Structure 1
Amino acid sequence: MAKNDNLHNAKEAKKDEFYTQLSDIENELKHYKEHFKDKVIFCNCDDPKYSNFHRYFRLNFEVLSLKSLITTHYNKDGDSYAEKLTREMVAKNKEYISPSLLDKDTIRERERNDFQKNPPQITLKQGGDFRSDECIKFLKQSDIVVTNPPFSLFREYVAQLVEYDKKFVIIGNQNAITYKEIFKLIKNNQIWLGSSLSYCAFKVPSDYEEKTTRFWIDDNGQKWRSMGNICWFTNLDIKKRHENLETIASYYKDSSKYPKYDNYDAINVDKTSEIPLDYEGVMGVPITFLDKHNPEQFDILALGIVGSIEFSCNKKMEILDKNGLPTGKFTFNAKGTLYRKFNPKTDEKPAFQDCETGELYSSIYARILIKNKNPKEKQ
């Protein structure tokens, strides 16, 4: 990687330095407790002084029966450090997992991870970048990685976890589902969504650049940023993954609710709650469906975008603007997306117009193509 690329990526990673709230961490990780027993946990995008992932595992070290906890801090400007807490250290001295009562005001106001005693710091000469040789050495020692990685480096981060065959529970933007590298793993049942799917707020450093949207400063001067729909990605099995989706929707009672795409043999479903469980063919469903996906109930076939599926027609279309007006720009096959005929009753505006027939079409955002393994009988 070129030096300038490294510098750019370092800056992007610094922008992504969000501190996840302890309540959000607890709400998700309670579903994985049996997985953590006797394991080495690695938090490789976390400042031990401030990270609530680090704090969660320190406070619950004995409850979870951890073998050890490794946390690495990232510093783009030079040396950084890591901390390693082991079962043997905790057995000899409980102060490693006991919050400092003398510093309770500091904990309350700054949420620093002040404990009565901290593990010795291990100097990291390569700045604590998760891609560095030093951090990869820790990665090889670990069993499960748990953290909030830089969203701008999400593809590369997940690729590293897969390369080293690591178990993980990590936070990501829901749109990462549509990355071809990530979706391939989802389709192949190598990763899936965790228990929580929500709109989350994150604490950001004091030098974080202020934004015009989804950014605020609280009464204590703490900067906050929200990232829309956030989800957890994991390859650890959880109970939710084996729960069947239940809906009352039926294709055969009202097939007009499920128009077919013009360029792929599948019906369109706008909401997960409207998936007809009696339909035996292919369905295009929203990406939020993955929050309810049970691999024993449905097969994931493809992502409804160019490069993921083969489209069956190649109409020349004029692209329409945000008001549905002609732009004088043209495309074939609707720029590689699924599309269907425009319905003025349900669609806000058309996206394309057929150059030969003048028919209007709606473009459908990132649908996941699925098929029910055991559809119900037609009603």
Structure 2
Amino acid sequence: MANEDLRTAQAGKNDEFYTQYHDIEVEMNAYLEYNPDVFRDKTVLLPCDDPEWSNFTKYFAAKFDALGLKKLISTSYAPECKKMVLGGLFSEYEQSSPQFDADKSKTHGKIFILDSDITGDGHIDIDDLHWEYLNGDGDFRSDEVTMLRDEADIIVTNPPFSLFREFLA
């Protein structure tokens, strides 16, 4: 059944779905069983629809210290640039940030970065994420995201099946 859903999404170029946290955890545990240091001192890039809702971002932010990451970068795609817009409201987290701009939030992608203990609690975790707007819409094919891709040691994503080859180019 699952493969059937994926084939249908690929054929219809309907790639909008979120990977479940549990599925990410199971997959990452397989890598960690093979090599417990696979992520140690690495920069991980997570191109996604929205880092704030992405289970990839939540997983890697929650496990930042345990994985020994050097840096986590998660990017988003501007809502107005999506073929299918999910929701339309800004989150409380986004609205409460000093850099919030309602117009930019519609047309610009965002970058979430995790690389230091901002809160001063001795741990690097999701509470230490900071974000800003990208210059462009956050499309993974943009020069801006390509530069981030080149900076990363590891890219973890669920890219649109219909555009997967373009992501690797």
Q: Shorter-chain-normalised TM-score: which range?
A: 0.5 to 0.7
Query: Where do 4+ consecutive residues of structure 1 move more than 6 Å?
Result: none
Kept in 2: contact 1:46–1:53 (CA 8 A): no
Deviation of 1:95 (Å):
7.0
Partner of 1:83: 112
Kept in 1: contact 2:111–2:131 (CA 8 A): yes
Kept in 1: contact 2:65–2:123 (CA 8 A): no
Kept in 2: contact 1:46–1:147 (CA 8 A): no
Deviation of 1:122 (Å):
2.1
Count of aligned residue pairs for this structure pair:
128
Deviation of 1:62 (Å):
0.6
Alignment of 1:63 with 2:92, yes or no, is: no
Partner of 1:37: 40
Partner of 2:27: 28
After superposition, the CA RMSD in angstroms is 2.2
TM-score by length of 1: 0.32
Deviation of 1:139 (Å):
1.2
**Matched letter for residue 119 of structure 1:** L
Partner of 2:139, secondary structure, is: coil
**1:304-315 to 2 correspondences below 5 Å:** none
Structure 2: runs of 5 or more not aligned = 1-11, 82-105
Which one has a larger percent helix, Structure 1 or Structure 2? 2
Q: Name which of 114, 123, 144 aligns with 2:154.
A: 144
Alignment of 1:128 with 2:138, yes or no, is: yes
Deviation of 1:46 (Å):
4.2
Structure 1: runs of 5 or more not aligned = 1-11, 98-114, 161-379
Partner of 1:83, secondary structure, is: strand
* Residue deviations 1:210-240 (CA, integer Å, cap 9, x gap): xxxxxxxxxxxxxxxxxxxxxxxxxxxxxxx
**Identity of aligned pairs, percent?**
41
If asked which structure has higher relative contact order (CA below 8 Å, sep 6+), I would say: 2
Partner of 2:93: none
| 1:142/1:91 CA distance change after superposition, 3 Å | farther
State which structure, 1 or 2, has the greater radius of gyration over its C-alpha atoms: 1
**Matched letter for residue 64 of structure 2:** F
Kept in 1: contact 2:119–2:128 (CA 8 A): no
Kept in 1: contact 2:73–2:112 (CA 8 A): yes
Kept in 2: contact 1:74–1:80 (CA 8 A): yes
Deviation of 1:149 (Å):
0.4
Partner of 2:27, secondary structure, is: helix
